Structure 1
Amino acid sequence: MSFALIPVKNLRKAKHRLSPLLEEQERYLLCLTMFEDVVNALIHSKSLDHIIVITSDNEVLTKAKDLGIKTLHDSGKELNESLTIATNYCMKIGAKNVTIVPIDIPLIKPEDIDEAISMDENSEKMVVISPSKDGYGTNLLFRRPPNIIPTKYGVRSFEKHRKTALANNINFRVYKNPRIALDIDKPEDLIEFIKIGKHTKTFNMLQKLHLVEKIKQK
């Protein structure tokens, strides 16, 4: 079975680098709506059997329940520990592969996920990474089997994941996709997003709160 993991930390404390553009409540609503965009893409993927949200955030737990998504309480001290716990859980219930997707890539589409997962279907040991726009981060990580390499999220995670896979002679692929590459983390990311993200719930939320014009004026 194919699983997707979405790790979500406390949304009230997220995206401080967007503070020049958005107030705290606006950043919270942005994160919650981006989460919904990402979940909708995963739900409509043809390649996934199960989606699990890893979080201890009550608002995210409620939203996930509303969307019909299974949740796993986040008991890890940091992201990589949380993902290790979640990966082990997935394997215990039958996962043959796991795809990790963050919440801050609202442009992602179902076909993007399908393409990443199907890059080399005949390989028993496989790692696929979709990098961030700057090439340093990991915006999608596919592993078959799920624990074939440990997650190494943090500074320059793309290179850390790549080196770990190659050092262990694991089939490794880079999936470059502009929609996945644009993670909303800095003001310039949000400015770029509003130019191309009109089809998303995230854009509609920003527009409804009159934030699109506010962002354009910055």
Structure 2
Amino acid sequence: VNAAVSMAEKYLLENNFDASIVFPQDIPMIRPQDIDELIRFQKTPQLIVVPSRKFDGTNALLRSPVNVMETHYDEDSYKIHLTTAKSRNIPTTFALISRIMWDVDDQSDLEFIMSNIEKPLLVDKLRKILE
């Protein structure tokens, strides 16, 4: 993950983008309005962190400027991102946006999401997959 983010970061810097947002692929409930809400928090320079529901991972990382800090995914990223930002005096905002926080790392996460889905047909399909 970190290598892919580094490649994207290089492209963004070469093309004069002033910010980036990293989302993992396991946040199935995210909606466009959640991203809009995250962007409304943005100031420069800054780091915005949306933790996972269990506060053991980073489910969104907005960096402004793009290279304000490197990413640290797959290794207790939430704590590492916060510690790194603090050690470098990077202004950091925590955004608790529920649909971004709801990731699927294990069966308990999937069951939690299923209990919060507003679409019964989707829940039925997921239950059949789990059987």
Question: Normalising to structure 2: TM-score of the pair?
Answer: 0.87
Percent of pairs identical after alignment? Answer: 29
Cα deviations by residue, 1:84-115 (Å, 9 ceiling, x for unpaired): 11111112122110000112111112221122
Higher normalized contact order (CA 8 Å, seq sep 6+, divided by chain length): 2
Q: Are 1:108 and 2:30 an aligned pair?
A: yes
1:96-140 deviation per Cα after TM superposition (whole angstroms, max 9, x unaligned): 100001121111122211222221x4x321000000111110000
Counting matched residue pairs gives 131
> Is 2:127 the counterpart of 1:212?
yes
Residue 85 of structure 2 is matched in structure 1 by 165
- Moved runs in structure 1, 4+ residues, more than 4 A? none
- Equivalent in 40, 43, 50 of residue 130 of structure 1: 50
Aligned twin of 1:117: 39
Select which of 105, 110, 115 maps to 1:185.
105
Deviations 1:150-173 (A, max 9, x none): 001122111111111121111101
Give distance in 2, aligned partners of 1:214 and 1:104. Answer: 17
Structure 2 counterpart of 1:86, from 2, 5, 8: 8
1:6-25 equivalent positions in 2, closer than 5 A:
none
> Alpha carbon RMSD of aligned pairs, Å?
2.1
Partner of 1:96: 18
CA–CA distance in structure 1, aligned partners of residues 107 and 76 of structure 2: 20
TM-score by length of 1: 0.55
Hey, what does 2:115 align to over in structure 1? Answer: 195
Unaligned stretches of 5+ residues in structure 2 = none
For residues 149 and 137 of structure 1, what CA distance do their matches in structure 2 show? Answer: 16
Q: Answer with 1 or 2: which has the greater Rg.
A: 1
